[in-house]
Amino acid sequence: MMHVSFLALTSLELWSEDVPVSVLPDSFLGGSAPCLRSFDLNGVPFPTLPTLLVTSIDLVKLSLWRIPHSGYTSPEELVTCLSSLIKLESFSLGFLSSRSYPNRATRRPVPLIHAVLPVLTFFEFRGVSEYLEDLVAQVHAPRLTEFRIIFFNQLLFNTPRFGQFLSRSEKFQGLNRVNVTFRNWGVVASLPMPTSAANENPGLRFGIRCEELDWQLSSIEQVCASSSPALFSLEHLSIQQLIWTYDKPQLQANIEDTQWLELFQSFSVVKNLYLSNELMPSIMHALNELSGESVTEVLPALQDIFVEGFKPGEHIQEAIKPFIAARQLFGHPVAVHDWKRE
């Protein structure tokens, strides 16, 4: 029955929790679904998916999630499909493993925009950074308001096309706050829209799956550095650690001072720095190691530091005092305040 076209079909969901799962055949739906408006494919490989999508020009929601390697579609093929989906409002793309990455021998040396998605507002991605780079280099989504990303663990991250994509999306021009959170499973950077309500989550959110804190810090620094100047307008930076289980505590002893300083290089206009009490000692130790005028070259626009649980006269103040004194000496004073983390 599923080998013939359903001309009136508007919504289709196919989920599988089993691995491996049978591959959908070329003849699925007769290769055509002209009235389809919502398509959700989760854990089901469909290598000839592009053939079906080019006939579904009325799609409003497309979710391709937990894609096995047997269902891999190249960024170029996907962009060709997306170019005809001008009504698409929500797009999710996620792979099961890091095996699904573009062929480096055929990667485009010069990015060309082949797909304009004029009404896309939601975009979600999970996979390797190379795939996202090749995809967003060829896509323009001027009305995008929510972008969620999870990268698999990689040794190196280089994401300049990701930064260029953000620069082309007008809704992301006003971002001025970034919240960096270190968790058990990885690190997450959230950049909320300035006008978003407290119970909403539009904006940019990207995370990297890796467990060791020093790897998390190295990974987030690489993404931030290579995505600039998209992140250069941020004035508020918060750094915190959220650990929900304690069977494998994350030790900060492996973090080198230079790692924090390299992260701060991407945030040259930050005025307000917010620190949770777990990470404050490590961060302030790095800042205290700066000597001479270099103390004003890292976070040069910094005016205020907000520390969770800060009380004048306690040991927290002692950890911050050398940096504050050095900034004062070179004419870049910084004030310290208590931060009540939400």
pLDDT along the chain (342 residues), means of 10: 86 84 85 92 90 91 93 90 95 91 66 86 96 93 94 93 87 87 94 66 88 92 85 87 59 76 92 93 93 93 92 75 93 92 76
Give the bridge partners for 122, in sequence order. Answer: 90, 146
User: Are 188 and 110 part of one and the same domain?
Assistant: no
- 47 near 23, Cβ under 8 Å? yes
* C-alpha span between 315 and 93 (Å, rounded): 47
- 187 near 157, Cβ under 8 Å? no
Question: Does any domain span residue 261?
Answer: yes
For 203, phi then psi, to 5°, come to 115, -160
Q: Which residue has the tokens 């492996």?
A: 254
Question: Does any domain span residue 62?
Answer: yes
The one-letter code for the residue type at 280 is M
The one-letter code for the residue type at 115 is A
pLDDT confidence of residue 94: 96
User: Are 54 and 13 part of one and the same domain?
Assistant: yes
Question: Does any domain span residue 164?
Answer: no
The helix/strand/coil state of 192 is strand
The one-letter code for the residue type at 223 is V
User: Are 136 and 264 part of one and the same domain?
Assistant: no
What residues make up the domain containing 246?
175-203+213-342
Final residue belonging to a domain, choices 123, 144, 165: 144
Distances (CA, A) of 234 to 89, 240, 286: 27, 17, 21
Question: Does any domain span residue 149?
Answer: no
Helices (H) and strands (E) in the chain, counts: 9, 15
Number of domains in the chain: 2
- 288 near 317, Cβ under 8 Å? no
The helix/strand/coil state of 287 is helix
* C-alpha span between 167 and 129 (Å, rounded): 18
- 113 near 139, Cβ under 8 Å? yes
* C-alpha span between 58 and 35 (Å, rounded): 6
pLDDT confidence of residue 199: 46
* C-alpha span between 254 and 217 (Å, rounded): 11
- 45 near 23, Cβ under 8 Å? yes
Pairing mode, if any, of strands 122-127 and 90-95?
Answer: parallel
Question: Does any domain span residue 251?
Answer: yes
Question: Does any domain span residue 154?
Answer: no
Of the candidates 57, 21, 54, 27, which has an alpha carbon nearest to the alpha carbon of residue 41?
A: 21
Question: Does any domain span residue 341?
Answer: yes
